[in-house]
A = this chain, B = another copy of it.
Amino acid sequence: MNATPRFRTAEILAVGSELLTPFRSDTNSLFITARLNDCGVDVRAKGVVGDDPADLRAMLAHARSRAQLVVLTGGLGPTEDDVTREVVAEALGLPLEEDPALVEQLERRFASRGSRMPAINRRQARVPHGAIALANPRGTAPGLWIDQGARGVLLLPGPPREMQPMLEGFLRDVLAARTDPRRFHRLVIKIAGWTESGVEEVAQPVYTRWRDLDPPVQTTILAAPGQVELHLTVADADGARAASRLEAAAAEVSAVLHPGVFSTNGRSLEEVVGGLLRDRGLTIAVGESCTGGLITSRLTDVPGSSAYVLASVVSYGNRAKTELLDVPGEVIEAHGAVSEPVAIAMATGARARAHADVGVGVTGIAGPGGATPGKPVGTVCLAVVPPDGAPRARTRRFPGERAVVKQQASQAALELVRRVLEGEEI
């Protein structure tokens, strides 16, 4: 038996007055929570406090009274409004001592950039008595780890690119030995073409059963425009058992939500569609109206997409639909610009003009203006012409404001491509 106390609970405290304005959120705590959870540590609460010594002292004292491990981010810089180091040292009754090795490191860092260390940076070499300094290869502020047996305080710099690798190192080198062998294991299921309540209704009976397993599979449902995510979590000391349990759960829920599940490995819909195109050696072209270029922008967010995205035409007006995508004027005349025949003609035109294997066409009313009788705001017609040339089309009605309609329409278009390429029902 190891007698060292193990850390099971943590609180995260983000320090910085800018985080108390209406314009900025603390996002560091999401990364820190994920990584602490991975190590089997529960985050019981989070806080944000400004660069005010009295406020920080009170928040720290209260957090320490509640949780075994307190993780602070920010306020380790060299300027006078960076107070975290001094306040923590004082609150814990630890005198600050200058660490000659840190001074030398800082001086070397500045020298390697051809400059002398400003006098104010010397503060960053001060370490509370008994604390361990954590190296910061990406900045001047070292982290600090203060181990008090049953309690611990970790100080990390605020910039994410400095904080994240430092935390990784700390978890691996220090905390791993001080936590339970139990770890949190996760799997994210991404679903298109279902509403949040639809997923809830169908999947809930499935994942309610998972709660009775030992260890249980916990589920969180999250919705974004056009996409629902199920986050599955298992806390288990046995990684292989957790992984196989998560895979079985994913398979079970995929079956009841078929064919809506497009990813169980974190990939976005544009990555999944891109992967299908690349694997099959196919190219794609898009004719966009109401989505205004968003479908193509999403497809080209994926590195390497130039291998399969050939070209797209955003045809906002009818003249552009006719001249740039060869949509016959009679088809627009007969069915209206927002119609499945026009979406199909746009897909056909984009495919032919770009010499692509797959053509996509989307026309609709993003709003707030543009509604016509029988075609309210949010009406969107989507079409795909796959390599065999046989067009598939659907009409949808999306709720919400302009940007939300655009997002949902782009999602539906990519999902239509995926289902057609995979031979699923659309």
Contacts and interface: CB of A to CB of B under 8 A. Distances in A.
A297 B58 CA distance: 47
Given A20-B44, A44-B20, A297 B294 contact: yes
Interface stretch (A29-37, A123-131, A165-173, A206-214): A29-37
A366 to B, nearest CB: 8
Nearest to A233: B21
A407 to B, nearest CB: 10
A320 B316 contact: no
Contacts of A312: 293, 313-314
Contact of A44 (B43, B46, B55): B55
Interface residues of A, number: 74
Contact of A293 (B25, B288, B323): B288
Nearest to A221: B18
Contacts of A47: 45-48
Interface stretch (A95-103, A175-183, A274-282, A302-310): A302-310
Interface string A191-234: 00000000000000000000000000000101000000101000
Contacts of A374: none
Chain A to chain B: the 4 pairs with minimum beta-carbon distance, closest first: A292-B300, A293-B293, A311-B320, A22-B34
Given A292-B296, A293-B296, 7 more contacts: A25-B25, A44-B49, A44-B52, A58-B62, A293-B295, A305-B316, A310-B316
